[in-house]
Amino acid sequence: MPATRPMQPERSEHLADMLKAIAHPLRLRLVALLVERDHCVTELAERLGVDQAIASQQLRILRMRGLVAVSRSDGFANYRLAEPRLINLLDCLEGCRR
């Protein structure tokens, strides 16, 4: 295990904000779907069995933290992971569960 170094308060606050953004079951599921591929909000809502408005609200939180990005095309909002290392975080969390 690599040696850890003291974490500066600003850095710990930034990381805590990022963890808060994904510390919600629906947001974790959204991130897991976006690991697979980009999705439009309609697809995401349908796959998760929630209203589109709820999916959009949760995606907005992830977007505000810079974890997902959106592009618009033909009236559709397409979401993708803006931070690809979230894949590693999900793997780590799954490993901790075992």
Map out the domains of the chain with their CATH numbers.
18-97 (1.10.10.10)
The pair of structure tokens assigned to 54 is 């709820």
Selection from 50, 48, 82, 89 nearest residue 63 by Cα: 82
Cβ atoms 27, 58 nearer than 8 A: yes
Q: Which whole number is the average pLDDT over 24-50? A: 95
The pTM of this model reads 0.84
Residues 62-90: pLDDT tens digits? Answer: 999 999 999 998 888 899 999 888 888 88
Cβ atoms 78, 71 nearer than 8 A: yes
Of 3 and 85, the structure prediction assigns the larger pLDDT to: 85
Provide the pairing of β-strand 76-81 with 39-40. Answer: antiparallel
Mean pLDDT of the chain: 90
pLDDT at 51 over 90: yes
Selection from 73, 30, 66 nearest residue 50 by Cα: 30
Q: What is the pLDDT of residue 98?
A: 66
Q: What is the pLDDT of residue 2?
A: 57
Q: Which whole number is the average pLDDT over 20-48? A: 94
Q: How far apart are CA 55 and CA 3, in angstroms?
A: 39
Which residue type is seen at 15? L
